[in-house]
Chains A and B, each alone.
Chain A
Amino acid sequence: MTALLALLAAVVATASGLPGLLFRRRPTLAQRLSAGALCLAAAIGFGAALPVLAGSPPSVLHHAWGQPFASLSIRLDPLSAIFLVPILAIPALGAVYGLAYWPQAQLGARAIRLQLWYGVVAGSMALVCLADNALLFLFAWEVMALGGFFLVRSDGDRTDAQKASWVYLVAAHVGTFAIFAFFAAVGSARGSFDFAAWAGLRSTGAAAGWLALLALVGFGLKAGLVPLHFWLPGAHAAAPSHVSAVMSGVLLKTGVYGLFRTAGFFEAPPASWGIVLMALGAASGVLGVALALAQHDLKRLLAYHSVENIGIITMGLGLALLGRARGAPGLVLLGFAGAALHVVNHALFKSLLFLGAGSVQHATGTRNLEKLGGLARAMPWTAGLFLVGAAAISGLPPLNGFVSEWFVALGALRALELPLLDRASFAVLVAPVLALVGALAAACFVKVQGTVFLGNPRSADAARAHESPRAMLLPMALLAAACVGIGLLPSLVVGPLSRGAAAWSGMPLAELRPDALGALDSAAWIARVALLLLALVGAVLLWRRRQRTAPDPVSETWGCGYAYPTARMAYTGSSFAQILTSGFRWVLFPRVRFAPPRGFFPSSSRFSTEPREAVLDLALLPAVRDYISATSRVRHLIAGRLHVQALLVLATLIAMLAWRLLWW
């Protein structure tokens, strides 16, 4: 029953773009209908997911499909439900935001195209999480990847969007290829392409290792794990902001979902798989935030933070896998809970931040941090809501980011309970890595909030900023409320998460229960401390208010005696991050242009740094260029000469025949 509802939600979401096409004459109405359809889909999806999260058994739907090996199999279990909630909620909120941000009334065909693909992507993401058959999964996966390509190109005339979309398309298909190979190998070994028949894959031996590697590459490429993240910042920065919110907030999570689902197929995996995931997660976390620190473009910066957060999620998943390898329920529960909750949390605060970035771009026309500043005065609501997102992504209490990072950190500490001399207890190092990532993220978001919203405007565009319309503020406010809500009431999420952990790991719920109760107790304490914190802040502010008898005098900022400070003297974002970025020079490879002042009366001098995407700009693109130039030397030998081509075909056939006869 719930599976049918979930499928209905996916269908409604997929069709949500049609009103734009049907009612071209009444664009505003059409766009409202489209946003309404996505909200309806989200409501239906919640109706399907919440009972499953509350403990009702998984729901299955099975239909035959004409395609060979395929079947229309839908399965809604707690793991799917956890992913389904943000996957339907974020596009709905993004569509409401789009009413004002990307209005069909002004943009016409561009907006219609965007809404069509937007709905298709939302629906196919939901289907990815529901599919219980490998071919249905691949079908939804491919539709989702193609839809993403067209969404990135919504602003089709911009060259950066075009370039980014092609890189995205190539990366997406390399990933699909790896997943295809993985599915084909498992499916032919098992004789069925239904996921239900795949449970209990052997996890020892070289073959299992290769299978796991294929899945890791395929899904890791979608999730944006370092070093497979190269396509991500360009694509997410080039798309319109509510599309970026969907892509960064939930589209990446389908890769995470794939990792979770695949890990669930295997029987208790060797500890090394968990360790590999933790190492990759740690690398993604630290390098993602380091790359983010160096960015000048607000949306690229946010996109790199997605790499960081995917790293945190992967570390949690690695801990859970290690727990399954060693039969440690505490590790399984806390690792899974941290990873799964961070999936939801990251969807919430990253969408909030991307929508905030969209509002900034909407109000000023620029995303360059060095040209912004002082926006809090003109757009107080946006600034306040962005601040909630910034604090949440930095993992600060009393917000939701803290709760999931707390789960992961505590899970890492549970690795200390492994037997003495077990090398795997070094998994505890996840905790200090998490602390490093959290502190760097906090540094980065102090930089963002400070250079965008605080201080004085650094350009005329920033000085002319205006507050966003209500349709843009409302989705942001809902997202911020969700961030605060999970932060203040973490006890609510422990139950669903422990059910998800049980369903995913195959451990009986009774075995996880002691740890779940412990987590529940701690969650209650976290809630109390959060309330105490809020009460203390309120008390101090109230006392301050009562104590003030006359309005406070106002003056200039202290400039060490200098009376006419200007915005040009203020610290820029680049200077703010300089100490940390210079520590990370070995991964940033910044392009530095420096013309030092010369002579006794220097006329002009300039200094600029431009961060580069190391994997894409320094490794992949040069390699592709070399490959093309190398093959171009042979190409003229073959091109247009039919007899040479025929000879090559013949030679290949003979070689294969010889190989078949002699060695096989």
Chain B
Amino acid sequence: MILRALLQIGVLLLLPPLLLGVVNRVKAIAAGRKGPPLLQLYFDLAKLLRKGAVYSRTTTWVFRAGPAVGLAAIATAGTMLPVAGQPAIVSFSGDFVLFAYLLALARFATALAALDTGSSFEGMGAAREVSFASMAEPTLFLVLVVMARATGSLSLSGMLGPALAPAWRAAAPALLLSAIALFVVALAENSRIPVDDPNTHLELTMIHEVMILDHSGPDLAFILYGASLKFFLFGALLVRLVADVGATGFWSAEGAFVLELLAFSVLVGVVESFMARLRLTRVPQMLVGASILSVFALVLLLR
């Protein structure tokens, strides 16, 4: 039992950087490049953690606390996510609200740290991040409401647990619509193409990357690791929703879960390879479109 819990925590803490490696490898292959090693993010993190950091004269303690609060909030949210058929470490009625608000706390801390530098670029990034997030947040809640209705449970472990398979038989269209909406939210929340390009080189057009321009050394490592953790959380939410293979054994369920997550990363990589980034003014339309999809899903269940 304890061993299993430890393994779950291990997957939660160790796997995320690999997922981003897979995304980058897929993009490289699609572009005909060789690409960086799959484990590149682990190397980067190890190197950054050993380095010192440079701080701007303008910054205060808010700038230094931002990355730590962001990482801690995302990791805490991770304890509420069921991994591979097991109930999560933390599970109670209404835990999904806490899950969403912890992610909001991480965003709040990162955006404040960005404004602490007094740089206009980082102000732009923070403004875009909080604006687009407030358009994505209702969609996330609507998707969770649909899942709660379909499974009759008010905790993430219950929504993504054994009740999900019968729910798919009873309400497949609604769940499918909400899964699509959730995928759009996942792309937006994790600053992926078509909302944001993690590899862009022009500060004026960035969202997430420009917010963290001034962070360096271990602080940057916290942020990069936190971002990969968030990617993992949304990926896990999505693959548990759409691809619950119903494997019963612990090891087979765990293995299937990891494979599904890798497949999710490949999918994100494919989307990134074959789509252009949207103009910033188009992003709200996409996010509102996703929330309309999820409202349709709710109407299908409640009519």
For A446, give its contact among B72, B102, B130 (CB under 8 Å). Answer: B130
| A443:B101 contact, CB within 8 angstroms | no
Q: Which residue of A lies closest to B137 (CB)?
A: A439
Task: Decide if A579 touches B128 in the complex (CB within 8 Å).
Answer: yes
| A8, CB-defined interface residue at 8 Å | no
Check B90 against A529 for contact (C-beta < 8 Å): yes
From A425, A521, A580, contact of B131 by CB (8 A): A580
Q: How far is the CA of A433 from the CA of B298 in the complex (A)?
A: 14
Output the least CB separation between A329 and chain B (Å).
15
Nearest-CB distance from B38 to chain A (Å)? 26
A544-B68 contact, Cβ under 8 Å, with A529-B90, A579-B131: yes
Q: Name which of B4-12, B24-32, B57-65, B233-241 contacts chain A.
A: B57-65
Given contacts A377-B60, A575-B123, contact A548 B94 (CB under 8 A): no
Which of A373, A394, A560 has most chain B Cβ within 10 Å? A560
Q: Which residues of B contact A377 (CB under 8 A)?
A: 60
A14–B10 alpha-carbon span in the complex (Å): 61
Which secondary structure characterizes the binding site on chain A? helix
B97 CB contact (under 8 Å) in A410, A560, A575: A410
- Known contacts A446-B111, A454-B115, A529-B90; is-contact A432 B49 (Cβ 8 Å): no
Taking a contact as CB atoms under 8 Å apart, the answer to whether B60 and A413 are in contact is no
CB within 8 Å of A: which B100-149 residues: 100-102, 104-105, 107-108, 111-112, 115-124, 126-128, 130-134, 137-142, 145, 148-149
Interface residues of A in 395-447 (CB under 8 A from B): 395-397, 402, 405-406, 409-410, 413, 416, 421, 425-426, 428-429, 431-436, 438-440, 442-443, 445-447
A374, A425, A528: which contacts B90 (Cβ < 8 A)?
A: A528
A238 is an interface residue with CB less than 8 A from chain B: no
On chain A, the residues within 8 Å of B140 by CB distance are 435
Known contacts A396-B101, A525-B90; A579 and B127 CB within 8 A of each other = yes
Task: Kindly state the separation between the CA atoms of A550 and B54 in the bound complex, as whole angstroms.
Answer: 12
Flag whether A571 is at the interface (Cβ < 8 A): yes
Cα–Cα distance between A548 and B65 once the two chains are bound (Å): 15
**Of residues 177 to 199 in B, which have CB atoms within 8 Å of A's CB atoms?**
none
Distance in angstroms from A415 CB to nearest chain B CB is 10
CB-based contact A536/B108 at 8 Å: no
Does any Cβ of B come within 8 Å of A460's Cβ? Answer: no
Interface size in chain A (residues, C-beta < 8 A): 83
Q: Which residues of A contact B90 (CB under 8 A)?
A: 525, 528-529
A451→B114 CA distance, assembly (Å):
11
Chain A: CB-nearest residue to B75: A536
A-B interface pairs (CB < 8 A), number: 237
Task: Tell me, in angstroms, the Cα distance from A449 to B284 when the chains sit together.
Answer: 25
Closest chain A residue, CB of each to CB of B291:
A432
Known A446-B126, A548-B52, A571-B127: A435·B141 in contact at CB below 8 Å: yes
Q: Which chain B residues lie closer than 8 Å to A639 at the CB level? A: none
B120 A570 Cβ-Cβ under 8 A: yes
- Flag if B111 contacts A541 (CB, 8 Å): no
Residues of chain A within 8 A of B68, CB atoms compared: 537, 540-541, 544
Q: A446-B115, A547-B218 are in contact. Are A536 and B72 (CB under 8 A)?
A: yes
Closest to B222 in A: A540
In the complex, what residues of A have CB within 8 A of residue B302's CB? 425-426, 428
Rounded to whole Å, the gap between the CB of A411 and the closest CB of chain B is 10
Q: What's the least CB distance linking A58 to chain B, in Å?
A: 31
B274 within 8 A of A: no
Q: Which residue of B lies closest to A571 (CB)?
A: B123
- Encode A226-259 as 1/0 by CB contact (under 8 A) with B: 0000000000000000000000000000000000
The answer to whether the Cβ of B203 comes within 8 Å of any Cβ in the partner chain is yes
Distance A394 CA – B149 CA, assembled complex (angstroms): 27
Residues on the A chain within 8 Å of B227, using CB? none
**B175 interface residue (CB < 8 Å to A):** no
A contact residues around B123 at 8 Å (CB): 450, 570-571, 575-576
Determine which of A406, A433, A435, A443 lies in contact with B94 in the assembled complex, contact meaning CB atoms within 8 Å.
A406
Give every chain A residue within 8 A of B284 (Cβ-Cβ): 579, 583
Which has the most chain B C-beta neighbours within 10 Å: A396, A446, A567?
A446
Chain A residues with Cβ below 8 Å from B130 are 439, 442-443, 446
Q: A425-B302, A432-B138, A529-B79 are in contact. Are A521 and B93 (CB under 8 A)?
A: yes
A556 contacts partner chain B, Cβ-Cβ < 8 Å: yes
| B154 CB within 8 Å of chain A | yes
A92 within 8 Å of B (CB atoms)? no
- CB-CB under 8 A from A557, the residues of chain B are 56-59, 117-119, 214
Chain A contacts for B80, CB-based, 8 A: 529
Q: Which residues of A contact B39 (CB under 8 A)?
A: none
Residues of A within 8 A of B127 (CB): 447, 571, 575-579
Do A406 and B214 touch across chains, with their CB atoms under 8 A apart?
A: no
Give, as a whole number of angstroms, the nearest-CB distance from A379 to chain B. 11
B41 beta carbon closer than 8 Å to chain A: no
Q: Which of A446, A539, A548, A570 contacts B112 (CB 8 A)?
A: A446
Q: Chain B CB within 10 Å — which of A432, A445, A576 has the most? A: A432
B119 touching A436 by the CB < 8 A rule?
no
Cβ contacts under 8 Å, A396 to chain B: 101, 104-105, 108
* B164, CB-defined interface residue at 8 Å: no
B-side contacts of A576, CB under 8 Å: 123, 126-127
Interface residue from B52, B97, B102, B111 paired with A533 (Cβ < 8 Å): B102
Specify which of B75, B92, B124, B145 is in contact with A525 (CB 8 Å cutoff): B92
Residue of B nearest to A583 (CB): B284
Question: Contacts of A556 on B, CB cut-off 8 Å?
Answer: 56-57
Judge if B243 is at the interface, Cβ distance under 8 Å: no
Residues of chain A contacted by B76 (CB below 8 angstroms): 529, 532-533, 536
Is A552 an interface residue when CB atoms closer than 8 A count as contact? yes
The CA-CA distance from A433 to B145 in the complex, in Å, is 12
Per a CB cutoff under 8 Å, which of A374, A544, A552, A567 touches B55?
Answer: A552
CA distance A383 to B121 in the complex (A): 23
> Which residues does chain A contribute within 8 Å of B98, judged by CB atoms?
397, 402, 406, 526, 529
On chain B, the residues within 8 Å of A580 by CB distance are: 131, 134
Alpha-carbon distance between A537 and B71 when the two chains are bound, in angstroms: 8
Please measure, in the bound complex, the distance between the C-alpha atom of A322 and the C-alpha atom of B164, giving whole angstroms.
29
Complex Cα gap A558–B119 (Å): 7
Give chain B interface residues in 144-166, CB to chain A under 8 Å: 145, 148-149, 154
Q: A556 CA to B219 CA in the complex, in Å?
A: 17
Nearest-Cβ distance from residue A171 to partner chain B, whole angstroms = 31
By the criterion CB–CB under 8 Å, are A569 and B120 in contact? yes
Q: Which residues of chain A are within 8 angstroms of B108 by Cβ–Cβ distance? A: 391, 394, 396, 442, 445-446
* B262 interface hit (Cβ, 8 Å): no
A376 within 8 A of partner (CB): yes
Distance, CA A565 to CA B218, complexed state (A): 25
Q: A394 contacts B53, CB within 8 Å?
A: no
* Given A438-B101, A533-B102; A413-B145 close (CB under 8 Å): yes
Specify which chain A residues have a CB less than 8 angstroms from the CB of B213 in the assembled complex. 558
With A397-B101, A416-B149, A579-B131: A555-B120 Cβ-Cβ less than 8 Å? no
Q: Is the CB of B148 within 8 A of A439?
A: no
**A553 close to chain B: CB less than 8 A:** yes
Residue of A nearest to B127 (CB): A576
Contacting residues, chain B, for A570 (C-beta < 8 A): 118-120, 123
Interface presence of A554 (CB below 8 A): yes
- For the complex formed, measure the closest distance between the CB of A463 and the CB atoms of chain B, giving whole angstroms: 13
Chain B residue numbers with a CB within 8 Å of A426 are 302
A154 to B117, CA, bound (A): 39
Q: Does B174 contact A (CB under 8 A)?
A: no
Interchain residue pairs with CB less than 8 A apart (10): A391-B108, A425-B302, A439-B137, A450-B115, A455-B115, A555-B56, A565-B118, A567-B118, A570-B119, A583-B284
User: Which 8 pairs, one residue from A and one from B, show the smallest C-beta to C-beta distance?
Assistant: A571-B123, A450-B115, A455-B118, A439-B134, A536-B72, A443-B130, A439-B137, A579-B131
Kindly list 20 other residue pairs between chains A and B, CB separation below 8 angstroms, not including A533-B72, A557-B118: A376-B62, A396-B105, A397-B102, A405-B101, A409-B141, A410-B154, A435-B140, A436-B137, A446-B112, A454-B112, A454-B118, A525-B95, A526-B98, A532-B79, A536-B71, A544-B219, A552-B52, A555-B56, A557-B56, A569-B119
